[in-house]
Amino acid sequence: MSEKLERLKTLLGEVADLGRASAVLGWDQQVNMPPGGGEARGQQLATLGKIAQEKFTSDEVGQLIEDLKAEFAGADPESDEAAMIRIAARNYDKAKRVPPEFVAEQAVVSSKAFEAWVEAKGKSDFSIFRPHLEKNLELVKRYISFFPPADHPYDVLLDDYEPGMKTAEVKAIFDVLRPQQVALIKAIAGKKQVKDDFLYKKYNEKKLIDFGVNVITKFGYDWKRGRQDKAPHPFQTTFGWGDVRITTRFEEDNPLATLFSTLHESGHAMYEQGQNPAYERTPLFGGASLAIHESQSRMWENLVGRSLPFWEHFFPALKKTFPSQLDGVGVKAFYKAINKVEPSFIRVNADEATYNLHIMLRLELEIAMVEGALDIKDLPAIWNEKMREYLGITPPNDAKGVLQDVHWSYGSIGYFSTYALGNLVSAQLWERIRADIKDLDDQIRKGDFSALLGWLREKVHKHGQKYEPQVLVQKVTGSKITPEPYIRYLTQKYSEIYGL
């Protein structure tokens, strides 16, 4: 191997190590850290972020990238070496534009903002979080200013999460999707609603968590390289190929959400665990984009975990675990209940038919914030107004409205559309999977997920970040991201449940 390539890999490996160390501190902040540790933790994250930024944007790294671009100019563009150089060059160009001092400041500000968000959500008081969100937004706008003018300023943010995607592309996809989802929801609203009161009885937290652990073990989540803890907002984090962790939470008023958040995060984790280990500590390691990542979590949570074949296998065990709560409930009644379509306040608990509307609402608000067309002090009222417009309901308080998501506390603006895009990709992949694995339903009915996970490992997981999201989706399904398969999936599923 080229000496220069070896040297670049060494330097990039050290940058990756610093990022992983920051991830450990971030995980600990949400899982173990006492409330008083927030300020010190912010400083620690700032120091690591600044060192990583300085190390990555050094003149030596820049020169190595330029030399290697010339050295590998005639190489197969799909080779690991060419892909690594291409991604390193792209990341370097972006990082070089952002001063290390800014990275450090953002780490401190977002750490304080997270602690404020936790308090604000607990007290359902947006005013506690407001000054922190204003500061985060100010930093986001400064970040945009470091880059050349884009077609839309939001493009700069979106590109961090969906490389190569443009705001106009996302809007065009959503413009096709929105009216069809609204029509489906209206059709369902005219039908007799399914019974689901048994889902909201008292369920033992530990038994539910243990049940989820058993399910994702069958999925193929590798516990030798993972663990699950509790956090205010469920998430997955990677410290290396051999250490991929997940968290869940328990909600008294919506206990089954614990199970589905475990399924969701395991989808993210199995993607990370399925990476090519040779990509460890290089720019090739990780998901192709957040939409591709979300396609994996939503697939395991919904297309698998809310399917009838899945519950034909697992429902007897669930009923045995919770006999009084599920007394007199059959598998089909349970299946319909967990797929009930009803506008709700909380995005992460939204049904599949209404979920994307939550995302479209957030996208509109983020674009307005970036454009300066929205004053942060008005955000709770505008949020509630948009909820009425999109879903016909009004949140009773800030905790169930504007404060429900953790992302803005991190300054992660530009992120939300990836959730809806992930839904679309999951359905595109699912159509291809069903064409390739003819007896998929029967395998799921038997609790055998090995062929499904094997397919995903081969087609998606092992490639890491080698391909941009649209390229990867095109390679696997034959087309770029498109809403049609998702509409077909929803229409078929809910036509059967509601008799449309």
Residues carrying an active site annotation? 265
Q: How far apart are CA 27 and CA 31, in angstroms?
A: 6
Q: How far apart are CA 38 and CA 111, in angstroms?
A: 7
42: Cα separation from own chain's centroid: 23
Q: Is 293 exposed, middle or buried (0-12, 13-18, 19+ CB in 10 A)?
A: buried
Q: Is 319 exposed, middle or buried (0-12, 13-18, 19+ CB in 10 A)?
A: middle
Counted residue by residue, the chain has a size of 500
Q: How far apart are CA 333 and CA 199, in angstroms?
A: 11
Phi then psi for 245, rounded to 5 degrees?
-110, 155
Q: What is the 3-state secondary structure (H, E, C) of the chain?
A: CCHHHHHHHHHHHHHHHHHHHHHHHHHHHHHCCCHHHHHHHHHHHHHHHHHHHHHHCCHHHHHHHHHHHHHCCCCCCCCHHHHHHHHHHHHHHHHHCCCHHHHHHHHHHHHHHHHHHHHHHHHCCHHHHHHHHHHHHHHHHHHHHCCCCCCCHHHHHHHHHCCCCCHHHHHHHHHHHHHHHHHHHHHHHCCCCCCCHHHHCCCCHHHHHHHHHHHHHHHCCCHHHCCEEECCCCCEEEEECCEEEEEECCCCCCCCHHHHHHHHHHHHHHHHHCCCHHHCCCCCCCCCCHHHHHHHHHHHHHHHCCCHHHHHHHHHHHHHHCCCCCCCCCHHHHHHHHCCCCCCCCHHHCCHHHHHHHHHHHHHHHHHHHHCCCCHHHHHHHHHHHHHHHHCCCCCCCCCCCCCCCHHHHCCCCCCHHHHHHHHHHHHHHHHHHHHCCCHHHHHHCCCCHHHHHHHHHHCHHHCCCCCHHHHHHHHHCCCCCCHHHHHHHHHHHHHHHCC
